[in-house]
Structure formats: structure tokens, C-alpha cells
A and B are shown apart, each in its own frame.
Chain A
Amino acid sequence: MGPHFLGHRAGPGIVLERISMQLFVKIRSLSRNLFASRRVEADLSQEIHCHLQMLTEENIRAGMTQEEAQRAARLEFGGIEQVKEQVRDERIGNWLRSVLSDCRYGLRQLRNNPGFTAAAVIVLALGIGANASLFSVVNGVLLRPLPFPHPEQLVILRESKPNFATGSVSYPNFLDWQRENRTFTSMSVMRGGRSLILTGIGEAEQINAVLLGPGFFEQLGVNPALGRTFAEDEVRIGGAPTVMLSAAFWERKFGSAHDVLGKTITLEGKDYSIIGVVPASFDFLGTLRSVDAYMPIGQWSNPLLTSRAAGLGIGGIGRLAPGVTIEQARSDMERVTRNLAATYPDANKGIGAAVIPLNKWMLGNTESFLFILFGAVGFVLLIACVNVANLLLARSTRRTHEFAVRAALGAGQTRIVRQLLVESTLLVSIGGGIGLMLAALGTKTVLRMLPTTLPRTAEIGVDADVMIFALVISFAAGILFGLWPALKTARRDPQQSLQEGGRGGSVSRHRLQGVLVAAEVSLALVLLIGAGLMIRTLSTLRNVNPGFEANKILTFGFSLPPSMFNASPDSVRAALREAQGKFQAAPGVQAVSFTWGAVPLSGDDEWLFWIDGQPKPQTESEMNWAIDYVVGPDYQKAMGIALKSGRFFTAQDDEHAARVAVIDEVLAKKFFDGQNPIGKRLHVNSSEETTEIVGVVGHVNQWGLDSDDKETLRSQLYTPFMQLPDKTMAQNASGIGVLVRSDKPATVFGSIRQVNSRRRSGLVVFGAQTMEEIIASSLGDRRFSMILLGIFAALALLLSSIGIYGVISYIVGQRTREIGVRIVLGAGRADVLRLVLIEGAKMTAIGLLVGLVASFGLTRLVAHLLFGVSPTDPLTLAAVVLLLAAVSLLACYIPARRATTVDPLIALRSE
């Protein structure tokens, strides 16, 4: 009732005040009604009661008897319930109130059917939780913009070389790129993974440092937490030694004291003055979380820094000028590199520039497999929805009588549909809430347990985006599975339902449930095939022979004492020999070798060579390339690499002996096809001195278990560690790689460390990793996909078997009478069993057929993750089909068994 006649007329000044006042009163009243409606109801009853009493008293005073007075009062008052209803309508909107009453009714319904409610809520919580969880990953990794201003302008710069599409950038080339480009606001470089020995603050330790080019932080829009960033002249070669600390290192070593600026730290015996601290939140490419210090690249003492042809693992980062497209930048860099190739043909012939948007570079193929997983988890949600829809259908059939009665009492179709929708919405709200909680608690834990190589994992979490996503999918799911059964139910003729006496269960409804079950089976089949293919892939990969015995190898790094940092090559060699003896003596160590250059599956390094007797190539880029392994005499034994012919190195192949090399069978075949390479000589790294080939060993998978044979550069060249040039040896006092063979590689590092500290050798050992760990991390993406797909597939199998079980049980329940009649007419147990099983088998068979067809299309999406198995691998398909068929028949069998125990007398009497 709106008071149209009474208007509000007031000066503008108090209008606002009145509006806010009214709003306040309304909110208070509404909340009182919503949350204290029982009290309001009691209040109203009391009020009416008093009114009636007063009327009665009035009537008694007018001379009536008690009964007469009461009756007259009732008459005058009118219908108590109507008055109450009108008051309620007045107090809150009619619609809202009746929805609330639907909710209360719905909640009562859910409470009265705890089995149904629990099943539906658990199914929904699993479906929504899995989706919200994976969405939080997708959101953190793919959707949220990178935490830098204008991240779309940032690009990764690499040299494209004959053997590498994205090779490292040499420092002289970078300087020329920086000077000659016309499309970039700025360019910088970064070289990570420098292990330096810190002395002077507590015990000597190895720290992790990164070398940076000019304007690195400015380019990313990162301000220092304290102090300043590197000035241009500090970055140049020969600049004053300066350092910026990471926030974690600053806290660990200096207690986050502000007077750290201007102090110095000693790295590898050289003093660096601290000019600033990098913010704790800073990371780039997900690789700088564990960095302790940042230094200008000019401080790198590597003599190859000024070599234009050197590949030192330096990466470029650029910021495109506003409005410049990636294509424009690429053609600009094409011009720059073409000019450089013309000016420096020796080093730069065939060298271009790769310009890759930062987000593309970071995601790699993460994007495609995350979307595949997202699709898979969407299937799980669909199965969950289908399951709940089936449960609701079955239940609404049981409730037809109730709805028919309500319809007969005047409830419209919309009212019944609304009631059912309210109930399904309640279900998803509870299920979605629990699911979101699971996602919030579980995502980080699961990510920690998984072999994850995802970028930006730190940014993954349940935030507003994830909540909105969960809300949207919950309600989409609620409407999807709620509306259909609701409409089905409401459309029924109440009279017919009443005559059926609550049995419901028409044939069309069974067919609908059958379709839903078939849909579940087909969705589950697709997921199971995906998971099966991934499992096959990984087991194939596990059986790939990488050319060495991965299960017995440990790698770690070590540095000599600081006193050796400026020592002569000979004393470095002597110290290294001594260190080798110490490692060799540690219990459990079977063989030890130093490594320099490439390490299979973890780091690569290349050398150039030409064969003695052939003309020296005009330019370096026309020389032959080989992956170089600079190793000790025990390397082949430690790795378990097969010796094909000749010999491996001995301790006598030292700095005083003639230069020798061992090649792998790939190099032998490529360059000495048909000839015996032993005794042949090579010129290595433009050296006029020749190196004699003394042996041939088996090929080792440098590039990964699966993709090695697809690479162009596979030739491998081994040279003795002690024959490293003097200049390089002098650089080798810190960060030397060590490879140890042991029967227990996971624990042997402990004994090495113990021996080392007992002898007070001053050696710093760090970064232990077993070869198995290295291999596992190279398969991280695949294992991540496999585990998640496996979980989703198991979930799908579980949910769909519950679905089949539920529907068959329901159908058996509905057909008890028919089965009873059949038994009376002489049907045996086997006949009844067959009757029910055929019903389930039909649904399953249709589902399997549809699923197989769908999987032919869908497994193509995972083809790039597969290895050694085709997307339509018959073995996987057959195994999965059999598994699913067996599980669904088992799910049918339990209710079918129950059907055979039907007592015909009871079944017939129950009508």
C-alpha cells in the first residue's frame, strides 16, 4: 500500500537527511524482519490477541455475555491469519518473504533427506572446489597481468643462431643493439646463476648473484626499497664495484639496518660497496626469488664478456616504445643485426635477433596444458552437475505427490518451479561454499606437493576473482541442473500424479535419467583416456635410456677457499686435485669427476671445431658445433656412459700431456662416417693446436629424455678438465661442478659435507641435486598434467559410478512391483539380474560410444604432451573402456542383486 496521496515536500537541505534516515529505518526494519522474524511474528500475535481482548471487554461492558462478547469481537476483527498476512506483506516485500519461506521450506526438505543432501553437497563441493582451485592457478599464472607498468611493452631479446632459436646475447652485440635500434625505449641484459663466495660476514658462504645491464630496474619500473639503483658508469666494464642486496639477504645479514648503504661486502675477495636494496616483492621470470645480490654486468671478470661470438648465457630484456608493435620491433632488429653481420662477419654471420613478448616467454607451453587441465576439470564439474540433476530428478519423482497436492491447493507452476530452484540454489550455495573453502585450503598445498614448474606460483591464491568465478559457476551449475528437473516436474498433470499414488516414474523420466548417465559415462571416458595417455607417456619416458645411469648420480657445486681466488692456474689445479681426493674419500662415494661446460638435462655449452687436415672455415659461424663436456678421468665411470671404442681419459691426460678428446657416436657418425675416428685430430675453439681423438662413447641425452633426437645440435665432445686453458683455469676457483657416483645419491651429500667440515678444508659445497631430480624436473610439466588429469579422471570415475548406482537403484525401487509380478509368473533370479543389468549396460554402452567418438577429437589437444604413444593408442583405449565398463557394471550389479531378492508377496502388497 503506497501512500500516493501523502507526498513528501521539504526543502532540498533536509531531503538528503530524510532519505538517509528513511533508508536507515528501512534497513533496520528489514533486518529485524529477516533475522528476528520469529520475534516479530510473536509480537504480531500478541498484538492481535490484545486487540481481541480489548474488543471483548468493550462488548462485555456493552452488556454481552463472555461467549457472545468473544464471538462478536472475532467477527469484528475478521480473519486473524489474513490480517497477519497483510501485515507481513506490508513489512517486507511479498516476493522476498515468500522466497524466504521457500528457503525455509527447502532447508527443512534438505534436513529431512540427509542422505540426498550429503550426496549432492559432496558432489558439488568436489566439482566446484576442483574448478575454483584450478581457476586460481590459471588466474594467477595466465590471466593476471604481470606486476610491472605496461607489461605488454616488455619483450625478451635473444640471439637467433643456426643451432638455437633463442640463444644467449653477447655483450658487445647487446651494446650495439642498444645503440642502433629505433623502436625500443630501453634495453638491458641479465645473467643469473652466479655463485660467489661471500667472506667477512660470519662464516664464508656461497651466495647467489645476478649480473645486470644498464637501467634494468628502471626499465621494469621497480624502485629500490632503500638507496638507489646502478648508475650508467657503474654498469660499464671497469666501473666502480657496487652491489644491490635482495631484501632477504639484507635482513639475514644486516638485520634490515638502514645504515647498510655505503658499507662494503667482500665477494670472491673483492670489495663491493652497497648502494641499494631491492624490494622483497621483486621477481622476474620467476627466477630471482632466491637471489642474494645484484651486481653490474661490467663487474664480471670473465674475459669472454667482451667477445662478440661468446655464448655466456646472457639474456636481453627490452621495453618497446609506446605504440610500437612487435612486428615493427622485429623488423627494426632485423635491420640492426643485418648491419652487424656485415660489419662483423666472423662472429655475426647468420645471427639475428629473437624478439618475444615477455608473457609468451614466461608461459612457454604452460598456457596450453593449463587450458587442457581447465577443460578437464570443467568435465568433472559437468559430471557433478549431471549427478545432482539425476538425484534431483529421482527425488522430485518421489515428491510428485507432494507437488500435486500443492498444485491442487492452488500453487501455480511457477511457484513449484521456484520452490525447486530455491532448493537447488541452496544446494549449490552450501556445496560451493565448501568447495571454495577446499580450494582456499588445498590449492597451495597441492601445488607444493606437485612437481611444479609453473611460473608465478607465488601469485596463486584465492582472491576476489576466484570467488566471483566460484559464484558464477555455482549458480550456473545450480540453474543448469536445477531448472531441468524442476520444469520436468512442474509440467506434470497433478491429477495423474495423484492417481499414480506417488509412484511417479513414467517411462520418459527413465529415459532422461538414462541419457544423463550416458553423458556421465562419456565425460568420464574422455578424462580417463587423457589420464591413461599421460600415464603411458611417462612410463615410456621412464624407460628411455638417456645414455647414463641416472639413479646413481649426484651433482653439486663447490668453491675453493677465498685465498685461491687470485691464485695461479697451477696452484688452482693443485687445490682442485686435493679437493677431489677429499670428496673421493667420503663414505659412499664410488667415483668423482669435476665438470665444466655442459651437464646433461641441466645446462648446455657449445664449442666450435674443425677437423685437422680440412681447410679452416672462414668465419666462426661456419665452423662445426659440438656440445662440450670438460670432465675428469672418472666421469665416464661415474655417469655409466658406454665406451664404444678406444679409451676414456686417465689421470695422465693432464696439463703437461698432449691434448686429447673423446667424442660421442653421433659426432663420429656425422663427421667421420665410415672411418675410424680414433687417432684423428681436431682444432677446438679456433686453436691452431690440435687435439687427438682417443675414444668414442655412447650418446647422452643432453636436451631431454624425449626431444633429444629432434634437436639439430647433438654432437658431443669431451675434453680433460686439467687441460683447460690456463686463463680459464684461473677463473675456476669458485662454482665448480662436481659429479659423484654412489649407490645412495640422495644421502651421499651428507657424508661429503661432514668430511669437508671435519677437515676444515675451507671448501664451500652447495646446491646438491641428484640426477633423478634433474630428470624429474625436466618432466615437471608432464607429471603435473598427469597427476592432475589422473585426479580428475579418478573423480570422474567415482562420480559417474555413483550416478549409475543411484539411477539403477532408483529404477529397481520403482519397478519392484513389476519385478514381483515377473517372479510370480516364473522368472528366475538370473532373468531378473539380466533384466536390470541390461538396463545399466545400455546406458553405459551408449556413453562409451559417445565418449570414444569425442575422445578422438579431444585427445589431439594433448598430442604435444605425449611421447611414444599415439593419441588413439588402442591399448589405452581398450584398457579404459574395459575399466569403465567393469566399474559401471559393478555399480549396476549391487542394486540388481537387490532386485533378485524381491519377495513377490510383499512387492505386490505394497501397492
Chain B
Amino acid sequence: MDSEPTTLLQGTLELLILKSLVAGEMHGLGVSRRIEQLTRGTFDVKPGSLFPALHWMDKEGWISSFWGDSENNRCAKYCRFANAGLEQLEAGTKRWGRISWAIAQALESS
């Protein structure tokens, strides 16, 4: 894990959460670990960012949440994809493609 934190572009956290939920329903810690794994340790999402984001997405109807049991029969709040989330993921992915390409182009040129 990098000692200097990598800040996420606004909106990318939601995209990463949606992406990680594609694998199936997950609790908060799971989402956090999954993002770490997906980004190969670049992003360590702390609860301080994760929880508000999850609640916001829940409110927007992109994901839905429910109480379930964890692996060790402990309680946990799970999140799963909602229909609106899939649309958001597709649109966001396309847009991210365009933006990252454009920024890469901009930085490489000179």
C-alpha cells in the first residue's frame, strides 16, 4: 500500500463500487477489499469515504442494501446492484474511457 494516498477523482469511487458489486452482493468491508484488489492496492477505501458513498448510492437507487449474515455468521449489511446501477456503470465506464484517453493524450503530447 502506498504511503502517499491516492485521491480518487470525484465520481470514480461510485464507479469502482459498482464495478466491485458486479461480482455479486457484498458487505461494506468486502467492497473495500474488492476495490483494493481490483486496483491492485492503489486505492484503499476507508470507511469515512465508503459509508457515505454507499448510503448516497442507496438513496439514489443505484444499489440496494439489506441485512444478512457474514461468513462467520456475524451480522452484516450487504449491498447489491440495482437496475439503475447497471446503467450508471455502463455510462460511467464509457465516459471514463473517453476521459482517461483524453487526459493521457494531453499529458503525452507536448
Residues on A with C-beta less than 8 A from B88 are 6
Interface residues as binary, A887-903 with B (CB distance below 8 Å gives 1, 0 otherwise): 00000000000000000
Contact with B along A2-15 (1 / 0, CB 8 A): 11111111100000
State which residues 45-100 of A face B: CB under 8 Å.
46-48, 50-51, 53-55, 57-58, 76-79, 82-83, 86-87, 89-91
Q: Are B29 and A82 in contact (CB under 8 A)?
A: no
Query: Is the beta-carbon distance between A90 and B52 smaller than 8 angstroms?
Result: yes
Q: Within the complex, what minimum Cβ distance (angstroms) separates B3 from chain A? A: 15
Complex Cα distance, B52 from A1, in Å, reads 9
**B52:A6 contact, CB within 8 angstroms:** no
Q: Which residues of A lie under 8 Å from residue B56 when comparing CB positions?
A: 1, 90-91
The answer to whether A22 has its CB under 8 Å from any CB of chain B is yes
- Choose among B15, B48, B75 the residue with the greatest number of A CB atoms under 10 Å from its CB: B48
Q: Quick check: is B84 within 8 A (CB to CB) of the other chain?
A: yes
Q: Fill in one digit per residue for B24-63: 1 if any A CB lies within 8 Å of its CB, else 0.
A: 0001110000000000000000111001110110111100
A residues contacting the other copy or chain, number (CB 8 A):
38
Complex Cα spacing A79 to B46, Å = 11
CB distance from A9 to the nearest CB of B (A): 5
Q: How far is it, in angstroms, between the C-alpha of A893 and the C-alpha of B69 when the chains are bound?
A: 72
Tell me which of A5, A6, A57, A86 contacts B51 (CB under 8 A).
A86
Q: Cβ of B72: which chain A residues have Cβ within 8 Å of it?
A: 57
Chain B minimum-CB-distance residue to A86? B52
Residue of B nearest to A58 (CB): B29
- Pairwise interchain contact B74-A54, C-beta atoms closer than 8 A: yes
Assess whether A91 is in contact with B29, with CB atoms less than 8 Å apart: no
| Interface contact A2-B10, CB-CB below 8 Å | yes
Q: Which of A29, A54, A76, A77 contacts B59 (CB 8 A)?
A: A29
**How many angstroms from the CA of A136 to the CA of B9 in the assembled complex?**
59
Question: Is the Cβ of A50 less than 8 Å from the Cβ of B92?
Answer: no
The residues of A that contact B29 with a CB separation of less than 8 Å are: 51, 54-55, 58
A10, closest chain B residue (CB): B87
Q: Quick one: which of A7, A55, A87 has the most chain B CB within 10 A?
A: A87
Q: Is the CB of A53 within 8 A of B47?
A: no
Q: How far is the CA of A6 from the CA of B60 in the complex (A)?
A: 13
- Flag whether B86 is at the interface (Cβ < 8 A): no
**Chain A positions 1-42 with a Cβ under 8 Å from a chain B Cβ:** 1-10, 18, 21-22, 25-26, 29
Q: B75: which A residues are within 8 A, CB to CB?
A: 46, 50
Residues A21 and B61 in contact, CB atoms below 8 Å apart: yes
When distances are taken between beta carbons in the complex, the residues of chain B under 8 Å from A7 are: 91, 95
A394 shortest CB reach to chain B, Å: 43
Contact B11–A77 (Cβ < 8 Å): no
Asked if A48 meets B47 with Cβ closer than 8 Å, knowing A6-B15, A10-B87, A86-B52, the reply is yes
Question: Which residue in chain A gives the minimum CB-CB distance to B29?
Answer: A54
Given A18-B84, A25-B61, A50-B74, are A5 and B11 also a contact pair (CB < 8 Å)? yes
Tell me how far the C-beta of B28 lies from the nearest C-beta in chain A, rounded to whole angstroms.
5
A387 to B84, CA, bound (A): 56
Given A5-B12, A9-B91, A50-B70, check contact A22 B77 (CB 8 Å).
no
Chain B residues with Cβ under 8 A from A3's Cβ?
10-11, 14
Q: For B52, what are the chain A residues with a Cβ–Cβ distance below 8 Å?
A: 1, 83, 86-87, 89-90
Q: How many residues of B contact A (CB 8 A)?
A: 35
Q: How far is the CB of A19 from chain B (nearest CB, A)?
A: 12
Q: Which residue of B lies closest to A82 (CB)?
A: B48
Inter-chain contact A83/B48, CB cutoff 8 Å: yes
Question: Does B101 lie at the interface of the complex (its beta carbon under 8 Å from any beta carbon of A)?
Answer: no
Assembly CA distance A8 to B61 (angstroms): 13
Which residues of A lie under 8 Å from residue B96 when comparing CB positions?
5
Q: What are the residues of chain A within 8 A of B70 when measuring CB–CB?
A: 50, 54
Asked whether, in the complex, the Cβ of A54 is within 8 Å of the Cβ of B27, the reply is yes
Complex Cα gap A22–B76 (Å)? 27
Residues on A with C-beta less than 8 A from B61 are 21-22, 25
A83 B91 Cβ-Cβ under 8 A: no
Measured CB to CB, the closest approach of chain B to A31, in angstroms, equals 12
| Set of chain A residues within 8 Å of B28, measured between Cβ atoms | 47, 51
Asked if residues A78 and B59 are in contact (CB atoms below 8 Å), the reply is no
A residues near B48, Cβ cutoff 8 Å = 78-79, 82-83, 86
In the assembled complex, the Cα of A6 lies from the Cα of B70 at a distance in Å of: 31
* CA gap between A78 and B45 in the complex, in Å: 12
Instruction: State how many angstroms separate the Cβ of B84 from the closest Cβ of chain A.
Output: 7
Establish whether residues B10 and A51, one from each chain, have CB atoms under 8 Å apart when the complex forms. Answer: no
| CB-defined contacts of B11 to chain A, threshold 8 Å | 3-6
Distance, CA A78 to CA B48, complexed state (A):
7
**Complex contacts, B99 vs chain A, CB 8 Å:** 5
Minimum CB–CB distance for A410 against chain B, Å: 21
Report 15 cross-chain contacts, Cβ distance below 8 Å, ordered by A residue: A1-B52, A3-B14, A5-B15, A5-B96, A6-B91, A7-B95, A21-B61, A21-B84, A50-B70, A51-B28, A54-B70, A54-B76, A58-B29, A78-B46, A83-B47
Q: Which residues of B contact A (CB under 8 A)?
A: 9-12, 14-15, 27-29, 46-48, 51-53, 55-56, 58-61, 70, 72, 74-77, 84, 87-88, 91-92, 95-96, 99
Interface residues of A (CB under 8 A from B): 1-10, 18, 21-22, 25-26, 29, 43, 46-48, 50-51, 53-55, 57-58, 76-79, 82-83, 86-87, 89-91
Q: A43-B77, A47-B51 are in contact. List 6 more A-B contacts (CB 8 A).
A: A7-B91, A7-B95, A54-B70, A55-B29, A58-B29, A86-B52
The 10 closest A-B pairs by CB, nearest first: A5-B11, A90-B52, A25-B61, A86-B52, A3-B11, A6-B92, A47-B77, A29-B59, A90-B56, A54-B29
